[in-house]
Amino acid sequence: MKKILILNVGSSSCKFQIFTKELKLLGKGLIDRIGITGTSFFYKDINNKQIKEKKDFEYKDFAEEFKRFINDNNICKFEEFYLMVHRVVMGSEVFPENIIVKDWKTIEKIEKLTPLAPLHQPYNVIALKEFFGKYKDTKHVVCFDTTFHSTIPEKNFIFTIPYQFYKDYKIRRYGAHGTSHQYITEKLSNFLNKKNVTFINLHLGNGASVCLVKDSKSYDTSMGLTPLGGLMMGTRSGDLDPSIVFYLINQKKLDPNDVENIFIKKSGLLGIYGKSSDMRDVISGEEKKEKRAILARELFIKRINDYIATYLNEVEKVDAITFTGGIGENDLDLIKRVFKNFHLKKIKIKQDKFDRNLDINLLSEKDSEIPIYIIKTNEELQMAKIAKILLKEL
């Protein structure tokens, strides 16, 4: 049986899903702590059969260890994967569309974009190189986080610096989480039975972004040149006064690389709370009345409010405001607090609980001016669909 392997690689982990050629899910898994002591494998099939394993290895051995795990545990025969779909964060204007990888030159071009997504792109590329090099008879498709945002108009992607920097160096807003935003767009469109939808989607997790979708196309988004901009995140600062960079370098004599590292890996929830970048730990700290945990959560909510207000002003009417991602799909208290003091529109969240088994949950009262939904995202399924469209199988 021909199968599709979806690889969503991060800096120390890889989420993966296995589909039939007809897009029936066979199972999903996670390889965690890659390159760190305690590397773990987890897989669960559609019959809830679970496989757990531990074996330390480095990224350079990723493809080999992944094949061993699949074969040794009789998940399937590795040769059945006729298609591998790779998630890559940054495509920029070099790759405005998702692509079929046919040669090493294409991978080299993707690798050159690493400075635009330093947290994830290096590992996306390592995995792509490993699998492409070892399995040349398999078709390889790359889905870029930036592709969905290629429809953003110039007034929303250009920065207010000399225009020549865009012309010469392509410095502009590229956004991220495009695969998730695209999946939610299609899901909401089908749910509302509307060909085109206009709404605000908040993908909230360790990485977080907002997307204003107009007529089912990305119209504005919070992340910028890199995934560092926009909302406050787990370890990333989000938007800030750029003069902070110069102050730390010129006045405090910090190395530019150290400053970049601070904004990417030591800021956000971790920077404010000081103990953890995980929202669940922040909530626990807030419940214990820890001041910095309370502040971190307040700041996270404020940034969300600011973006919703801005995006509501860009369109005449929205069909909905939706929440997705690890935080967005689970943190009902946060969603309620987002709209508790939201004065632009009358919005009331009606329930204290919601059905976590449903893909879509309506949270708002009937008389709310804008419907509020939690919608479960499925980036891996979206990637499989994208790949099959590229291969003209859908």
H-type alpha helices, 170-239: 178-192
CB 177 within 8 A of CB 187: no
Active site residue 145: yes
Q: Which of 262, 281, 265 is nearest to 273 (CA)?
A: 281
Q: Please, are residues 233 and 208 in contact by the beta-carbon 8 Å criterion?
A: yes
Count the Cβ atoms, other than its own, within 10 Å of residue 260: 16
Distance between CA 234 and CA 279 in Å, rounded? 8
Cα gap 338→4, rounded to integer Å:
39
Q: 145, 220, 319, 331: which is the annotated catalytic residue?
A: 145
Opening angle at CA 137, ends 136 and 140, nearest 5 = 70
* CA gap 391, 354 in Å, rounded: 39
DSSP element (H, E) containing 273? helix 268-273
Exposure class string for 73-84: b at 16+ Cβ within 10 A, else e: eebbebebbebb
Which residues carry out catalysis? 145
